[in-house]
Amino acid sequence: MHAIEKDVHWLGFEWSGLYHASDYFEQLYDYAVELIKKGLAYVDDLSAEQIREYRGTLKQPGKNSPHRDRSVEENLDLFRRMRDGEFADGARVLRAKIDMAAPNINMRDPALYRIKRTHHHRTGDDWVIYPMYDFTHCISDAIEHITHSLCTLEFEDHRPLYDWVLDNITAPSHPRQIEFARLQLKYTVTSKRKLHQLGAAKHVDSWDDPRMPTISGLRRRGYTPESIRDFCDRIGVTKKDSFIEMAVLENSIREDLNEHALRVMGVLKPLKVTIENYPGNQVEEMEAQNHPQHPEMGTRKVPFSKTLYIERDDFMEDAPKKFFRLSVGREVRLRYAYYITCTDVIKDDNGDVIELICSYDPETKGGSSPDGRKVKGTIHWVSAKHAIDAQVNLYDRLFTHPNPGGTDNFLGHLNPDSLQVLTHCKLEPSLADADPDKHYQFERTAYFVLDNHTDAAHPVFNRTVTLRDTWAKIDKQNR
RNA sequence: UGGGCCGUCGCCAAGCGGUAAGGCACCAGGUUUUGAUCCUGGCAUUCGGAGGUUCGAAUCCUCCCGGCCCAGCCA
């Protein structure tokens, strides 16, 4: 309950009052008595299984309970004694007397009250009988003078009952129930029951696991309240049962983060680079912009030295012409630093590249050359001896099936690679005191946020969403 | 003939009798010290289908097809 309040607050909403149906238990009881007195409700002694049998099927009408025609006096007495705890749990229920042959099953004398000795978080042990949803909700809405009671599609069949109850008691008002489709996303599940199962079976860490499409999960993943509200504005509200593509959600957060995230450099999969002609002890402070489109967001200094780390993906031995990054003999720009040319490659015994030897052009400090020559690629880097070590969590869709919830075994469609943990990522030193409330763009890779369960000594960054990657698309097409 | 609801571009979604908005995605260009961002252009002769009414239909009528929900003393 408090978690919900917290989520709603975080999303940016306030409420004028907090109401609980349990505040109306006494009134609800009185309305039930009113129905009994009108001959519109009765106490039934049938067991749950018997009631099910008597209910009939979707295509066949039900039949009346043998207790359906008890006198008002007897019903009043029995209901009173239900409340007083004279009967065992499940022994009797109060039912509305409507129509056992109704085509809408919800109208076949639905249960209004059942006996259930359970501790209530607000009313404690005051009650042993509790009202059913269909009886409680409409009356609570009426008491609160709600004008429109919004709910999801599966309650469409309940609306006749909602109206029946209010039509047959002296209701303080008669709200209108309107049903809408629930928000569903592809490649994930949104039902509370299924989300709970994911946690219970340890497929995710918790309710706020960054892979969960919960408010707390999205928050920990790095989504902002603004982006979620924008997403909701875009998708609209209708009665059509639909599934939204993740791309829409991702677009909303990218749009927000592109505008507000601080740009930094972080190397996820480091490859060592030695600048052979750079003085061994020299360190230069390069000036970098915090946001190229917003100079007012300032600049920062990033240390540069002889030994650096660059992204493994930014080097390719047999690079195609369209590959604008580093390869032996090719020149690239190190963002905010120098142009470098790869001169040699060092491999380990397995033949894997473990280090690059490069030379830099001292005339290109800051990233531009006096002779105006062009370099196609600009890559990010971090100085080896200044870098901080961090863990980075890369998240992907939770399921491999577009509608896992619609299959007979949704857990069978889990994406085994929904979380990829990267350790010893090398980040620029300014990130040593990263702000947990700020969002960062590791330039050229993705948006990240400090995990809110992290501790300062061992920073963990969660990937919110990747940047659009045209190269990945081209690369994929070429294979 | 159980009942209820829904069908407009790949995914969402306006439209409510006057001749198909918009977003996402996608495609093609341009700018760019992020292959990001940004900018420009393209993307439904057609609204699940077939008839009908009308000068005119996605919008009204009829029939058909497809999808979702309901047999908790859960919500």
Tens-digit pLDDT profile for residues A403-451: 999 998 999 999 999 999 999 999 999 999 999 999 999 999 999 999 9
**pTM for the full model?**
0.95
Model confidence over A132-145: pLDDT tens digits?
999 999 999 999 99
Closest amino acid to nucleotide B68 (CA–C1'): A241
Q: What is the distance between the alpha carbons of residues A194 and A341, in angstroms, rounded to a whole number?
A: 53
**Lookup: nucleotide whose C1' is closest to A467 CA:** B36
Q: Which helix (H) or strand (E) holds A391?
A: strand A388-395
pLDDT higher than threshold 90 for residue A233: yes
Model confidence over A62-71: pLDDT tens digits?
999 999 999 9
pLDDT higher than threshold 80 for residue A230: yes
Closest amino acid to nucleotide B4 (CA–C1'): A157
Integer distance in angstroms from CA A184 to C1' B64? 30
Mean pLDDT throughout A198-214? 96
Instruction: Give me A307's structure tokens.
Output: 């030994």
Residues 6+ apart with CB under 8 A from A29: A83, A131
Whose tokens are 């917003």? That residue is A294
Report residue A318 CA to chain centroid gap. Answer: 41
**Lookup: nucleotide whose C1' is closest to A473 CA:** B35
pLDDT: which is higher, A457 or A402: A402
pLDDT higher than threshold 90 for residue A476: no
Question: What pLDDT does residue A169 have?
Answer: 98
The sheet carrying A41-44 orders its strands as A41-44, A93-96, A111-115, A129-131
Question: What pLDDT does residue A1 have?
Answer: 76
Which 8-state DSSP code applies to residue A66? T
Mean pLDDT throughout A230-235? 98
Model confidence over A5-56: pLDDT tens digits?
999 999 999 998 999 999 999 999 999 999 999 999 999 999 999 999 999 9
Contact A165, A96 (CB under 8 A): yes
Residues 6+ apart with CB under 8 A from A408: none
Mean pLDDT throughout A158-178? 98
The pLDDT > 70 percentage for chain A reads: 100
Question: What pLDDT does residue A477 have?
Answer: 80
Integer distance in angstroms from CA A435 to C1' B75? 40
**Lookup: nucleotide whose C1' is closest to A93 CA:** B73
Integer distance in angstroms from CA A14 to C1' B57? 45
Mean pLDDT for all residues in chain A: 97
A453 falls in which pLDDT band (50, 70, 90)? confident
Integer distance in angstroms from CA A404 to C1' B8? 27
Q: Is A430 helix (H, G, I), strand (E, B) or coil?
A: helix
Amino acid A468 reads R
Integer distance in angstroms from CA A100 to C1' B55? 53
Closest amino acid to nucleotide B74 (CA–C1'): A133
Question: What pLDDT does residue A456 have?
Answer: 78
**Lookup: nucleotide whose C1' is closest to A245 CA:** B11
Among A330, A359, A328, which Cα is nearest to A345's? A328
Residue A281, burial from CB neighbour count under 10 angstroms (0-12, 13-18, 19+): exposed
Question: What pLDDT does residue A372 have?
Answer: 87
Closest amino acid to nucleotide B71 (CA–C1'): A57
Integer distance in angstroms from CA A238 to C1' B15? 14
Dihedral sign for Cα A330, A336, A337, A338, please.
positive
Mean pLDDT throughout A378-406? 97
**Lookup: nucleotide whose C1' is closest to A56 CA:** B71
A455 falls in which pLDDT band (50, 70, 90)? confident
**Lookup: nucleotide whose C1' is closest to A55 CA:** B71
> Which nucleotides in chain B have some atom under 7 angstroms from a protein Cβ?
2-8, 10-14, 22-27, 33-38, 67-75
Model confidence over A78-94: pLDDT tens digits?
999 999 999 999 999 99
pLDDT higher than threshold 90 for residue A362: yes
Q: Is A202 helix (H, G, I), strand (E, B) or coil?
A: coil
Instruction: Give me A122's structure tokens.
Output: 């607000």
Integer distance in angstroms from CA A52 to C1' B71? 7
**Lookup: nucleotide whose C1' is closest to A115 CA:** B73
Integer distance in angstroms from CA A343 to C1' B59? 69
Integer distance in angstroms from CA A176 to C1' B54? 36
Structural Rg of chain A based on CA atoms: 32
**Lookup: nucleotide whose C1' is closest to A324 CA:** B35
Closest amino acid to nucleotide B73 (CA–C1'): A114
Integer distance in angstroms from CA A406 to C1' B44? 29
Q: Is A270 helix (H, G, I), strand (E, B) or coil?
A: strand
Model confidence over A244-286: pLDDT tens digits?
999 999 999 999 999 999 999 999 999 999 999 999 999 999 9
Amino acid A442 reads F
A457 falls in which pLDDT band (50, 70, 90)? confident
The pLDDT > 90 percentage for chain A reads: 96
Contact A184, A242 (CB under 8 A): yes
CA angle A250, A185, A141 (to 5 degrees): 115
Backbone angles phi, psi at A364, to 5 degrees: -105, 20
**Lookup: nucleotide whose C1' is closest to A180 CA:** B5
A478 falls in which pLDDT band (50, 70, 90)? confident
Integer distance in angstroms from CA A235 to C1' B23? 8
